[in-house]
A and B are shown apart, each in its own frame.
Chain A
């Protein structure tokens, strides 16, 4: 039991916090504070998202008519390459772990910072350098037209800026390794006292699984890209068939990283959704340990399926069969998660605010994205669907419908914690609706086109596909408006939104026991370890208009614990 003054001090709006404790650009540029680095990352990935998003809109505009001459064929190739490369390497991979995870992970562990703050800052600057190198491919005037996968032998023969771009991706790989390594060590050594592995929020589990992939897969990409650079400059004859090399070896190396990288993109999103679904249903997450272990299972299985990108590249049939079979097994842990989220929603007291709307769209879109993946994992259908718009639609449903949706949901969920200000929930939901409907309008027609044989990466197409392409283009602009609206709502809230309390959503994980915005050291006092999914542990405090842990509440005003509902 603590008195009102202490409560005010611990959970009230603080005078000084991590945003205003030091001032000036140097206090940001050289900060070692994980929250500030996370915010800088968030700004960085937003810039990358807008840049690559503009590339996408230019592409879609070009495809509005079947005989469009808006872009030359060469420009078209450069546009889709840069869209893919910037989106994958600079936006999606760092988006949730390095931006949101950086801010939230140490606080969820009750720690003051990540284990290696300098490495954390170095990771951000490597991100800037790497992204700069990627974009240097455009600024050099040569562009880049290999597709984001840099497949040999074309990437060796083309004289576009492959070296800039691969070097950029190499640097971005190190940025990603630094983040992953930091998170692994932080989760292992910096947990709060008595916070066992099964008292961690599921977002931490998913970041941990992600970090395993980052640490194990990214170095292989690093050496592959170095070998590609050596091949291009010295012609060492490892990938170049002209000199006795094997171009398919590059595909093996590349996908040994890049397939696990797909799970670097989706696993943190699944972690965010586990948090959102539980908090906004005010119900204990269903099947905690199943969700936790399914993250690890996805991370490990992710290393065994890279061959399914090469069903038509001339692999042996036996290998192809094995890769196909293992690909199907990934569906099991993925489905475990979806069923557990649905079970959590059942009889929960659901609050349909902006983050929850994003979480529900995630489940729907990820469901479609995941199930269409099975068509591509099956050998016979894949021969038909390979390199068509079906593939494009499939991975956009997972990456945009999955990761981007979860990122937006997570940002709306933790935004009040970061800035201490609330957003306009109505406009947030309008943004979510536009994102959801625009997204479906963009990519659903692509499934139809793809199954009818529309190949990907073509600058022109048969007139019979024009109606689908036009729907898709209109959808892309609606999606763009939705994202822009969400952006405006969030930025306005960060500076002008009404003040909010430390825990407005009655969440139980440790980061909500800090003030909003948090103190420089995250917590002014060691937080009370609570079960992250026991929402009865948080009680409403009238004076502060917020939820605080039961231990700190005024015992005269505390409502008794509700017995858990058995279903």
Chain B
């Protein structure tokens, strides 16, 4: 009943006759268990790729049908923040790989440190993403049906928002992580008091992990302010002018109009009122001639940008859900590293979660150029 094929590749890690405490009853050997898990996780990754494939197909289809819209739309995405997130995720893949290596060598302490760094990177990614999302919600850049571009930054109304000059939405997105940090710190202190030192350490690590989110938010806000102007500031934001410049770029005659219009835009800055006619007026004044070739109806273009953002929110949202799932899996690995479970002949779970983490990273590597770098 042994496994039919023998594997030479893992010989240095495995002792065929060692039935360790982690070998399930229905497996004959550690090797059989490891091979099953490995094949299982690869198949799972196949299903994940196919799960995302539907969105990639929708993306390709709409981009093929509306190439101009995609060029128009992507300038609303901040490629500096996207680039920052790409670097963060690539770095987390490196630490994950180092974590797998440490587990293979049975070095549980190193493994736990690498996994902690990976988790902090993961939450940092989410923090930057929160800055991006809240900025777009501020500007009315939502899914297709709710799309209502205003080109303005509403003045924050919450106390924290006012004092830090950040969006209200960003404040709301920070509530749950803040509660989590508080919860983990309290849990850590309680565990310490009842002498569960291991648990205290775990809870503190979780608090640090969620802290990564605020690191991401902080860096994200600094990047955002440096590239697009502060939230709630009185001057027109740089992003507001970008699409207009782009609209005008095909026809030089209209560049003067565009500048006028951009100036006009700044007067409306800070308005919370519905702005649909506002944008319609823009297009009629400045951009109409340049649209004519592809989209005779400027208001239609406005709506089609919404489809780009529908796809953007679906893809990045689904990706963010995968990041969160990855953090939970990594937390479980961290706990087992603290317990010292990894041995040279038993490190499967680290290997499997590592593969999953690399896939999540890889999907972002595709999403970033497809969404942010269309030009």
Contact yes or no, B146 A234, CB < 8 A: yes
Whether A160 is near chain B, meaning CB under 8 Å from some CB there, is no
Whether A227 is near chain B, meaning CB under 8 Å from some CB there, is yes
Contact yes or no, A526 B1, CB < 8 A: yes
Whether A112 is near chain B, meaning CB under 8 Å from some CB there, is yes
Give the residues in chain A near B355, CB-CB below 8 Å.
none
The 8 Å CB contact of B48, one of A219, A243, A245, is A219
Known A220-B50, A244-B307; contact A185-B40, beta-carbon cutoff 8 A: yes
Give the residues in chain B near A193, CB-CB below 8 Å.
1-2, 4
CB distance from A146 to the nearest CB of B (A): 19
For B54, give the chain A residue with the smallest CB separation: A223
Known A113-B26, A227-B314, A238-B58; contact A184-B52, beta-carbon cutoff 8 A: no
Q: In whole angstroms, how far apart are the Cα atoms of A177 and B318 in the complex?
A: 19
Give the residues in chain A near B3, CB-CB below 8 Å.
189-191
For A218, give the chain B residue with the smallest CB separation: B47
State which of B31-39, B221-229, B232-240, B245-253 sits at the interface with chain A.
Answer: B31-39
The interface bits of chain B over 33-72 (1 if a CB of A lies within 8 angstroms of the residue's CB, else 0) are 0011001100110111011111101100110000000000
The 8 Å CB contact of A196, one of B4, B143, B300, B307, is B4
Given contacts A116-B40, A193-B1, A235-B146, 11 further A-B contacts (CB under 8 A): A113-B26, A116-B36, A185-B40, A191-B3, A193-B2, A216-B50, A223-B51, A223-B318, A234-B146, A235-B145, A253-B57
For A237, give the chain B residue with the smallest CB separation: B144
Contact yes or no, A185 B43, CB < 8 A: yes
Give the residues in chain A near B303, CB-CB below 8 Å.
237, 243-244
Known A196-B4, A223-B51; contact A238-B307, beta-carbon cutoff 8 A: yes
Give the residues in chain A near B48, CB-CB below 8 Å.
219
Q: In whole angstroms, how far apart are the Cα atoms of A535 and B143 in the complex?
A: 64
Q: Interface size class for chain A?
A: 35 or more
For A180, give the chain B residue with the smallest CB separation: B43
For A253, give the chain B residue with the smallest CB separation: B54
Give the residues in chain B near A230, CB-CB below 8 Å.
143, 310, 314
Contact yes or no, A220 B58, CB < 8 A: no
Whether B304 is near chain A, meaning CB under 8 Å from some CB there, is yes
Q: In whole angstroms, how far apart are the Cα atoms of A188 and B32 in the complex?
A: 10
Give the residues in chain B near A192, CB-CB below 8 Å.
1
Give the residues in chain A near B51, CB-CB below 8 Å.
219-220, 222-223
CB distance from A211 to the nearest CB of B (A): 9
For A114, give the chain B residue with the smallest CB separation: B26
Contact yes or no, A194 B54, CB < 8 A: no
Contact yes or no, B39 A188, CB < 8 A: yes
Of all A-B residue pairs in the complex, the 10 with the closest CB atoms, nearest first, are A237-B144, A235-B145, A223-B54, A236-B310, A113-B26, A219-B51, A219-B50, A112-B26, A115-B36, A189-B36
The interface bits of chain B over 126-164 (1 if a CB of A lies within 8 angstroms of the residue's CB, else 0) are 000000000000000001111000000000000000000
Give the residues in chain B near A246, CB-CB below 8 Å.
61
For B142, give the chain A residue with the smallest CB separation: A234
9 A-B residue pairings within 8 Å (CB atoms): A111-B1, A181-B44, A185-B40, A186-B36, A216-B47, A219-B47, A227-B54, A244-B144, A245-B307
Whether B367 is near chain A, meaning CB under 8 Å from some CB there, is no
For A238, give the chain B residue with the smallest CB separation: B58
Whether B190 is near chain A, meaning CB under 8 Å from some CB there, is no
Among B2, B144, B300, B314, find the residue whose CB has the most chain A CB atoms closer than 10 A: B144
Q: In whole angstroms, how far apart are the Cα atoms of A193 and B6 in the complex?
A: 11
Whether B17 is near chain A, meaning CB under 8 Å from some CB there, is no
Q: In whole angstroms, how far apart are the Cα atoms of A217 and B24 in the complex?
A: 30
Q: State which residues 169-227 of A face B: CB under 8 Å.
A: 177, 181-182, 184-186, 188-196, 215-220, 222-224, 226-227
Contact yes or no, B306 A111, CB < 8 A: no
Whether A518 is near chain B, meaning CB under 8 Å from some CB there, is no
B interface residue numbers (CB < 8 A to A) = 1-4, 24-26, 32, 35-36, 39-40, 43-44, 46-48, 50-55, 57-58, 61-62, 143-146, 300, 303-304, 306-307, 310-311, 313-314, 318
Whether A410 is near chain B, meaning CB under 8 Å from some CB there, is no
For A243, give the chain B residue with the smallest CB separation: B144
The interface bits of chain A over 93-120 (1 if a CB of B lies within 8 angstroms of the residue's CB, else 0) are 0000000000000000011111111000
Give the residues in chain B near A47, CB-CB below 8 Å.
none
CB distance from A119 to the nearest CB of B (A): 8
Interface SS of chain B: helix, strand, loop or mixed? helix
Contact yes or no, B4 A191, CB < 8 A: yes
CB distance from A243 to the nearest CB of B (A): 5
Contact yes or no, B307 A223, CB < 8 A: no
Q: In whole angstroms, how far apart are the Cα atoms of A117 and B26 in the complex?
A: 9
Whether A249 is near chain B, meaning CB under 8 Å from some CB there, is yes
Q: In whole angstroms, how far apart are the Cα atoms of A186 and B52 in the complex?
A: 26
CB distance from A36 to the nearest CB of B (A): 14
The 8 Å CB contact of A215, one of B43, B53, B57, is B43
Give the residues in chain B near A222, CB-CB below 8 Å.
51
Among B26, B39, B52, find the residue whose CB has the most chain A CB atoms closer than 10 A: B26
CB distance from A352 to the nearest CB of B (A): 36
Known A223-B53, A244-B307, A526-B1; contact A234-B145, beta-carbon cutoff 8 A: yes
Give the residues in chain B near A253, CB-CB below 8 Å.
54, 57
Give the residues in chain A near B62, CB-CB below 8 Å.
238
Q: In whole angstroms, how far apart are the Cα atoms of A40 and B98 in the complex?
A: 43
Known A194-B4, A244-B304; contact A177-B61, beta-carbon cutoff 8 A: no
The 8 Å CB contact of B32, one of A190, A227, A237, A238, is A190
The 8 Å CB contact of B311, one of A115, A184, A190, A238, is A238
Contact yes or no, B54 A184, CB < 8 A: no
Among A189, A190, A234, find the residue whose CB has the most chain B CB atoms closer than 10 A: A189
The 8 Å CB contact of B307, one of A191, A217, A237, is A237
Q: In whole angstroms, how far apart are the Cα atoms of A230 and B311 in the complex?
A: 11
CB distance from B12 to the nearest CB of A (A): 20
The 8 Å CB contact of B54, one of A220, A234, A236, is A220
Q: In whole angstroms, how far apart are the Cα atoms of A238 and B24 in the complex?
A: 46
Q: In whole angstroms, how far apart are the Cα atoms of A189 and B3 in the complex?
A: 6
Give the residues in chain A near B306, CB-CB below 8 Å.
237, 243-244
Give the residues in chain B near A236, CB-CB below 8 Å.
143-145, 307, 310-311, 313-314
Contact yes or no, B47 A181, CB < 8 A: yes
CB distance from A509 to the nearest CB of B (A): 15
Q: In whole angstroms, how far apart are the Cα atoms of A234 and B35 in the complex?
A: 43
Q: In whole angstroms, how far apart are the Cα atoms of A246 and B65 in the complex?
A: 11
Q: In whole angstroms, how far apart are the Cα atoms of A196 and B5 in the complex?
A: 10
Give the residues in chain A near B43, CB-CB below 8 Å.
181, 184-185, 215
Q: In whole angstroms, how far apart are the Cα atoms of A237 and B146 in the complex?
A: 10
Q: In whole angstroms, how far apart are the Cα atoms of A114 and B304 in the complex?
A: 49
CB distance from A170 to the nearest CB of B (A): 11
CB distance from B168 to the nearest CB of A (A): 20
Q: In whole angstroms, how far apart are the Cα atoms of A284 and B345 in the complex?
A: 44
For B2, give the chain A residue with the smallest CB separation: A193
